[in-house]
Amino acid sequence: MIDFTPTPEQAMLVEMVRRFVQEEIVPIEHELDPDAGRLPPEKDKELRAKVAQMGLTNWDAPAEVGGPGLDVVTQTLLAMEMSQHRAGLYTTCYGVFGGAGLAHLYEASDYLKERYLYPTLRGEMVGCFALSEPSGGSDPARAVQTRAVRDGEDWVINGSKLWISEAANADYAILIARTGDEGRDGLTAFVVETAAAGFTVRREVPVLRKVHKPTELTFDDVRVPDRNRVSPEGAGFRMAAERLAMRRIPYAAECVGTATAAHRMATEYAKIREVFGKPLAQQQGIQWMLVDNEIDIRTARMFVLDAAVKADRGEPFRTEAALAKLAASEGGFRVVDRCVQIHGGLGVAADLPLERWFREMRIRRIGEGPTEVQRMLIARDLLGKHASASRRSA
Ligand SMILES: Cc1cc2nc3c(=O)[nH]c(=O)nc-3n(C[C@H](O)[C@H](O)[C@H](O)COP(=O)(O)OP(=O)(O)OC[C@H]3O[C@@H](n4cnc5c(N)ncnc54)[C@H](O)[C@@H]3O)c2cc1C
């Protein structure tokens, strides 16, 4: 049985971030548009300075690239706190903690770090991650049709991508393109600048989430120098899969954080709102909803921390990350849904953060590998080759 009690240092960091979120971020949200994606510039500057004083600028970056070098468990505990506000799922603390988000560049060449990673960490550049295509996102090893063909020192890229978040505001995309045969070993990762000739953001796609709109992209003879290749040839899928598995841990932690905030609100509301002559909290139907919330949150929290512990130990954690993502996004959605119900009409009003959490948590069951794909990954580890007839490319 793993002991998930935070160390004194972790507890201190968690408390510091909790106070920052509750005292600095939550009060501002009363003044902001309910779907806001950024802070007013003055506030942004002020809060970034406070984060720097806390020593948490670029909080998720390793020490080698100038970040605080926190282990995965500590990052997970902090992500559970940072997400406990209205914009917490997709615009965690409005970005004032910085971070590249796209860990793909942490182990890239010195050239790529100088040109893209460090400016991103300094807040001078924005990147996006372009894997999914109109032909499908669940099974990219088969679906990716965007092709990169070698031409001297360059690669020439043609194709299209769909659902790529933030590309309209990004300076570059980490793009997975096919350089070889069908299947997972035919894919390679590149950094492609959005200003490159032939790179077009065809449209932004309105979805339930109002910030960081996903986009449709087309590539028409986009020329990229070979030094912009992030992975060895044919290793782009493996690199993306490793990064996606790691990314699932903070992604799941954010779901736990938001669910925790919603559950806290519903618990307090149940004590003060009266129906049929007594507080909601005395109605057994409501008590059971709160208990179900507690079960969903505690279960997801344990799965997420279990994955983080394994990642820190250098043990395989792909199955644990899939379990964490599955439990936290599905459980988090159930929690937010119950909290909306407990609040009645207020639950769907933009006066409270619940309706934004409800919309954005719905996306969490699809993004970063839908629920069914997580189930497939877990089943594969349980059943090995018996899980599917063909393991050729997935
Ligand atoms: C708001 C938003 C932002 C996104 N941002 C990005 C981004 O920045 N970069 C990026 O590359 N992608 C991004 N995506 C894409 C996302 O990763 C894909 O939507 C996701 O992987 C599913 O792919 P798909 O939509 O093509 O669905 P499909 O692959 O067509 O699958 C459809 C549905 O089938 C189900 N399914 C899949 N496999 C199985 C199975 N084996 N058994 C049973 N059911 C199955 C799943 O429920 C799935 O949702 C984003 C998506 C959204 C909605």
The pLDDT confidence band at residue 106, using thresholds 50, 70 and 90, is confident
* pLDDT tens-digit readout, 75-87: 999 999 999 999 9
Q: Which two tokens stand for residue 10?
A: 């972790």
Q: What is the pLDDT of residue 64?
A: 92
58 lines ligand 1 (CB under 6 A): no
| pLDDT at 141 > cutoff 50 | yes
Asked if 124 is an active-site residue, the reply is no
Q: What is the pLDDT of residue 1?
A: 60
| pLDDT at 390 > cutoff 70 | no
Q: Which two tokens stand for residue 34?
A: 């309910």
16 lines ligand 1 (CB under 6 A): no
Q: Rounded mean pLDDT of 258-268? A: 98
Domains of the chain: 8-103 (1.10.540), 127-229 (2.40.110.10), 240-387 (1.20.140.10)
Residue 297 CA to residue 260 CA, distance in Å, equals 7
Lowest-confidence segment of 138-142, 250-254, 279-283, 313-317 by average pLDDT = 138-142
The pLDDT confidence band at residue 42, using thresholds 50, 70 and 90, is very high
Q: How far is the CA of 290 from the centre of ligand 1 (A)?
A: 31
Q: What is the pLDDT of residue 388?
A: 67
Radius of gyration of the chain from Cα atoms? 22
The pLDDT confidence band at residue 393, using thresholds 50, 70 and 90, is very low
DSSP state, residue 37: -
Average pLDDT of every residue of the chain:
95
Residue 351: phi, psi to the nearest 5? -65, -30
Q: Rounded mean pLDDT of 186-193? A: 97
Looking at the chain, the number of H-run helices and the number of E-run strands are 12, 9
The best mutation among 162, 366, 375, 383 to test binding of ligand 1, ranked by most ligand atoms within 8 Å of the C-beta, falls on 366
Q: Residue-wise over 198-233: b if at least 16 C-beta within 10 A, else e?
A: ebeeeeeeebebbbbbbbbbebeebebeeebbbbeb
| pLDDT at 28 > cutoff 80 | yes
Q: What is the pLDDT of residue 392?
A: 47
Return the half-sphere exposure (C-beta side, CA atoms, 13 A cut-off) of residue 350. 7
Give the atom of ligand 1 at the shortest distance from the alpha carbon of 373. Answer: 38
| pLDDT at 100 > cutoff 90 | no
Give the atom of ligand 1 at the shortest distance from the alpha carbon of 205. Answer: 1
Residue, of 136 and 389, whose pLDDT is higher: 136
Residue with CA nearest ligand 1 atom 24: 137
Hey, is 292 helix, strand or coil?
A: helix
| pLDDT at 248 > cutoff 50 | yes
The pLDDT confidence band at residue 394, using thresholds 50, 70 and 90, is very low
Q: What is the pLDDT of residue 200?
A: 98
Residue 177 CA to residue 174 CA, distance in Å, equals 10
Q: How far is the CA of 238 from the centre of ligand 1 (A)?
A: 18
The pLDDT confidence band at residue 362, using thresholds 50, 70 and 90, is very high
Q: Rounded mean pLDDT of 113-141? A: 94
Q: Which two tokens stand for residue 131?
A: 């894997």
Q: What is the pLDDT of residue 4?
A: 84
DSSP state, residue 180: S
Whole-number Cα distances in Å, 256 to 85, 268, 331, 336: 12, 18, 8, 10
168 lines ligand 1 (CB under 6 A): no
pTM of the model: 0.96
